[in-house]
Every structure is written in C-alpha cells, then in structure tokens.
Structure 1
Amino acid sequence: MKICIYGAGAIGGYVGVMLQRAGVDVSLIARGAHLEAIHKHGLTLHVGDEVLNAKIPASKDPRDFGPQDYVIIGLKSYQAWESAYDMEPLLGPNTAVVTAQNGVPWWYFYGLDHHTNHRLKSVDPDNRQWEVIGPERVIGCTVYPATEIESPGVIKHVYGDQFGFGEPNRTKSERLTKLYDAFAASKMKPRLFDDIRDDIWVKLWGNLSFNPISALTHATLDIVATDPGTRALSKNMMLEAKAIGDRLGVNFRVDVERRIDGAAKVGPHRTSMLQDVQKERPLEIDALVTAVQEMGQIVGVATPYIDAVLALVQQMGRVKDLYPTFPDAVDDVAEEVPTALAS
C-alpha cells in the first residue's frame, strides 16, 4: 500500500510516522525548513515518553513519487485549494484522496439526497478541487488528535488518536476497509461512519464557534465554554448550525449542552485559530465558519449569530493581514447572505 501525506505538518507528520511503523509505504510532501530537517535527520515524533524517528521519503514535488493508492491531505482548506493542480501526479486511476481537514469539505454535497452535487463557493471557488481531484475519489475524514511542530522535523503528540472515516456515498467500500485496517495496525484508533457527515458536524460545531470566539477574545477553550457570555454565544451559533444540519438530514448524536461541556473538560487549550493569531499565521475562517453561513443560505436558515461573529473574525483577519481569501468567491458569498439585522 502506497500512501502519500500531502502536507506533512503536525497532523500529517504524526500520521506518516505511525503508518510507516505499521509497514505502509509512506511518502511526504513538505516544504521549507521542515523538509530540510526531514532530509537531514528524519522525522521525529514525541508520543508520551517515547521518541520515534522515521526515515521517510520527502519532497516538495509530487512528481517524485507518482501515483499512489491513497493521498492523505493534511493541509488547511485554503492550502488544499491552492495545491489541487500540484496533486495531479499522485493521482492514478484508482487513487483515493482522504480529506483530513477541519470544517466543511468541498465535496459535502456529492451524492447527497439534498441539493445533490451543489458546489460550495466558500471552500472551492471555480470548482478546482471538484474538477481536478473529483469527489468520486474522496474518503471523508475527521481528525481528533492534537499535535504540534516543536521545531523543523520534530512533532509532539499532545493528546488523542482517533480518526473518523466514511465514504461520501455512504457505502462500505474495499478501499475504505483497507484504510481502516492500516490505521488500526498503526495503533491509531479509526472509526467507520455510515455517513461521515454526521461526525463532521459534531466536530464542526466546536470549530465554528469556539475557534473564532477564542481568536477574538484570546480566551482558552475552558473559559469560552464556561463564561456565561461566551458560552451563550457559542450555544446560539451551534443551534443555528444544528438547524442547517437538520434540514440536510444530519444525525447529531450529542446535544449542544453536552458538546459544550465536553469542550470545557479539555481544559485551558488554545484553539487552532487562537494559536494562528498568536503566531501570526493565516486563519482558516472560510471552511470553519463562512461555509456554514453559505449552507444556511442554501437551505433557508437565518444565521444572525454566525453572521456577526464571522464579520468580526474576518475583519480582524484583514486588519492583521492573516485572512487568505479565495479570489472573488468569498466576497460573492458574503454579499448574498443577509446581515444579522435583516434576518
């Protein structure tokens, strides 16, 4: 089995090391100082008290590896869109593409009973990923481990080892089973979902609310989830999202209060968006929040709380020059969505 990790950062590097230890033929797409360190010293992973070092073939050029059985995308959504054409050398006739990303995926409406094959402009403007990668290649994935790059070539595993997988067409395919087996053999904890969208929404609930609120306030997750004001705001954003999900046939296996309580138990964790603000890295706003706003318009659900928080975090991102918008497309979506006052 040949698997290329496209974006061997914190999560991608962790997955790459663990899969290689299970005997998978792994390659990495990386860049910059991280790539140089991998070439010189291998990829080092700290898991608890254990230090693992893996010599994994790595390059910035996908042409060095050719067609794969699986490509696991470990990039943020805007990076994945930018890189879609570059992935083509990795895509053979039967290559599966695993979207190991947060937020609403570009393929969300593929084969769905509601708004079948609708294209989401906020995450895939000009249909680039839909046409270059193709939704028929996709295996959906939800990522629960927390990892971070301590220094170039060195990754620290903080907590968690669970991954959710599912076919967008809700079948249990051979390629899905083989991927599950590879992750299980690597001592990560995969779980198969009849509809991976259900798990995407459970995770999205937290990402769409906790991430922008923490980025705006600099409060850690435990504070956002327990302070009366930010907890209420989070809840209202999540209820708007649930109304959207309900119209799309989503099965929410937990309720809002339980979801927020679960976040509070994580403790003083800095969300990924807060970390990006503090490290002055581009913010992943569109897949986490803008896409939910867009989906609300598609199904006719007003989202005044989401609209307001989105406007604030977008403006903060622009002021700090940390908001990498897609050309024209996001602005088009924003213009079509009613403001909070008009809702």
Structure 2
Amino acid sequence: MRICVIGAGAIGGLLAAKLADAGEDVSVIARGPHLAAISANGLKLIEGDKETIAKVKASNRIADVGEQDLIILGMKAHQVAAIVRDLPAIYGPRTSVLTAQNGIPWWYFFKHGGPHEGARLESVDPGGVIADNLPIERVIASVVYPAAEIERPGVIRHIEGYRFSLAEIDESPTERLEQIAATFTRAGFKAPVVTDIRAELWTKLWGNATFNPISALTHATLEDICRFRLTRTLAEEVMREMKAIGEALGIRFRIPLEKRIAGAEAVGPHKTSMLQDVETGRALEADALIGSVLELGRIVDVASPHLDSLYAVVKLLGETLAREKGRLVVEPA
C-alpha cells in the first residue's frame, strides 16, 4: 500500500516507521532538521531495547510523493487547515484520508444522523476550510492511544501503547476500512474496527481535556494532579461537566468517573502532551481539546463553568508563550 504520513512527529513518525518496516511503501512530509535527518539517515524508531531504521521517502512538499492509497494526517488539529488544499495533488480515485488528531474532530457532525447533522465546529475548523476542501467520503476516523516522543531530529521513541481504533465516519463496515485495519495489524498495531467511534473519542477526551490544561498550568504530572486533593477535586468537577455535555449529545460513558481518574493516576509521573508543549514552546491544543467541548456545550445548552475557566487561562498561557518567544515553535510535520 502506498502511504503518505503528513506530519512525521511523534505519532506520525511511529506510524511511518512501523508501516515502512512492515513492507509498505511509505512517504513522509516533514521539514527543518527533522526532514534533513530522515533524508540522510532514515527514520529511526526506538521501542524499548529495540531500534529500527525505516527507509521512507521524505519531502517537504506534498505534491512530490505522487498518488497515494492512504494519507495519514499526523499533525495536530490546528495544523490541518494549512495543508488540506494541497491534498488533491496526491489523490487517486480511491485514496482514503485517515485523521489522527486529538480532541473533537472537525467531522464530528458529518454522517452523524442526529439533529445536528452537518453542523460545523468553528473551534476546530475556523471558516470551514477543512470541510470545504476535504471530501468527507475520503475520511477514515481514528482514536489514537499510543504515546511517543521525538527524541531528536529523525528519531522517534515509543513510550507505550499500540492501539488505533478505526471507523468510517458513519460507523458502517467497509472493505477499505478492513484493508487499512489489516495493514496496521501487520505493522504491529492493534487496529480494531469499531462501531461507536464518537463514544470512544469522548472516553479519551474525557481525560485529555481535563488533565492537559491542569498539567500545563501547574507543571504537574498526572500522578501529582490526582494525588493533590484540590486538583483532584477540580478534575472531578471538570469531568462531571464534560459528561453532562456528552450525555446531552447521546454519548454513553461506559466507565465511572472515579475509575477514569484512577486510570490517570496509575500512569504515574507522566507529563501530558500539553505540558510538554509548554516546556518546548509549541502551540497548545486548547481549541481541539477544550474549546471544541465548550462549543458542543453551547449547542446542547449545557453549562461548564469549571471547563470555561480552564480554557480561559490556557488560552492566555498560549498567547503569553507566543509573545515571550516571539513565535511558537511548531513540532516537525
């Protein structure tokens, strides 16, 4: 399968390296020192004591890689709009586009079948740029569970997890979905085809939208947040508000709130992705992780004062970082 990973950062790089090592024809779109290192030395993946160097084609121009069977959008949600108009250059008649972003996706209400069918979310797709330029028929949804990091340019370190839940936007079974899942499985990933992708998105986001902003503001790990009484209480309040919004949209939460917090605590002294972004000066995913939930809350008329407050201070934190550094450094893509 011809696969192009756009955004060969931590998760995109993990996908590209393992898919290439499994024999797929993989190209990556990257830039800067990351691109230079991949072009010169290949894409190195470290998994525990194992190191592999994947041979991938690397470029900073999407049009250079030619027609693809599968395009994986590996960048963060706020970066998708900037590249979406370039994708037709590598479309074939049956090219699929897999979204691998955190947070509520831009396509959430497309092929949804509910009262808000076709509604666009300004928080994650300002001006509808993505929806207008990426045909929904090409889109495959995913929920990303692995943790990885860029150790240095050209080198990805896997931390934990190999699961990517996959689904069609309308949650129907299709041949192309089964083919993509089989390709991921051959590469060593767990790739279940699910029929409740939005519920699974919410389950993951339930923790992400709670712990990411708290950690970014306090510089505390998941373990610290859950063990300190005041921040644990704040996390509980935020999660109750999120649960109310999700349930108003028809989402069923399958695990109790207390179990979700216990799971976060069990991860131990782990820095959330937003805290890592603060430390390295990258743009914060405030809108995809938090602003999108607030927008959904307005749609279903559910108040979320604790989450509102977290969003306000995290947005200001992002603006402050941008001013102090002159610009926010965007991770290799």
Q: Give yes or no for TM over 0.5.
A: yes
Amino acid at match of 2:99: T
- Alignment map for 1:114-153 (pairs within 5 Å): 114-153=115-154
Corresponding residue SS for 2:322: coil
Corresponding residue SS for 1:94: coil
243-252 or 112-121, which deviates more: 243-252
CA distance in 1, matches of 2:228, 2:37: 42
CA distance in 2, matches of 1:225, 1:146: 20
- Alignment map for 1:1-343 (pairs within 5 Å): 1-112=1-112, 113-321=114-322
Corresponding residue SS for 2:80: helix
CA distance in 2, matches of 1:177, 1:220: 37
1:251, distance to aligned residue in structure 2 (A): 2.4
Q: Pick closer, same or farther for the CA change 1:322–1:18 going to 2, 3 Å.
A: farther
Corresponding residue SS for 1:191: coil
Corresponding residue SS for 2:290: helix
Write out per-residue CA displacement over residues 282-339 of structure 1, whole angstroms, 9 at most, x where no aligned residue.
Answer: 111100000100000011111111101111111111122179xxxxxxxxxxxxxxxx
CA distance in 2, matches of 1:41, 1:10: 17
Amino acid at match of 1:275: Q
* Runs (5+) with no aligned partner, structure 2: 325-333
**RCO higher in 1 or 2 (8 Å CA, sep ≥ 6)?**
2
101-110 or 190-199, which deviates more: 190-199
CA distance in 1, matches of 2:252, 2:300: 16
CA distance in 2, matches of 1:237, 1:246: 14
1:192, distance to aligned residue in structure 2 (A): 1.7
**How many residues are matched?**
323
Write out per-residue CA displacement over residues 65-88 of structure 1, whole angstroms, 9 at most, x where no aligned residue.
Answer: 222111111101111122211223
CA distance in 2, matches of 1:121, 1:155: 33
Write out per-residue CA displacement over residues 93-126 of structure 1, whole angstroms, 9 at most, x where no aligned residue.
Answer: 3221111110010000001113001000011011
* Runs (5+) with no aligned partner, structure 1: 324-343
CA distance in 2, matches of 1:193, 1:263: 23
1:180, distance to aligned residue in structure 2 (A): 0.6
Corresponding residue SS for 1:283: coil
Corresponding residue SS for 2:178: helix
Contact residue 106 and residue 124 of structure 1 kept, 8 A:
yes
Corresponding residue SS for 1:75: coil
The two structures, once aligned, show a CA RMSD in angstroms of 1.3
Corresponding residue SS for 2:69: strand
Write out per-residue CA displacement over residues 213-267 of structure 1, whole angstroms, 9 at most, x where no aligned residue.
Answer: 0000111011112221111111111111111111212122212111110010000
Corresponding residue SS for 1:81: coil
Q: Pick closer, same or farther for the CA change 1:255–1:314 going to 2, 3 Å.
A: same
The two structures have a TM-score, normalised by structure 1, of 0.92
Corresponding residue SS for 1:129: helix
CA distance in 2, matches of 1:220, 1:114: 39
1:135, distance to aligned residue in structure 2 (A): 2.0
CA distance in 2, matches of 1:285, 1:322: 17
Contact residue 2 and residue 25 of structure 1 kept, 8 A:
yes
Contact residue 18 and residue 54 of structure 2 kept, 8 A:
no
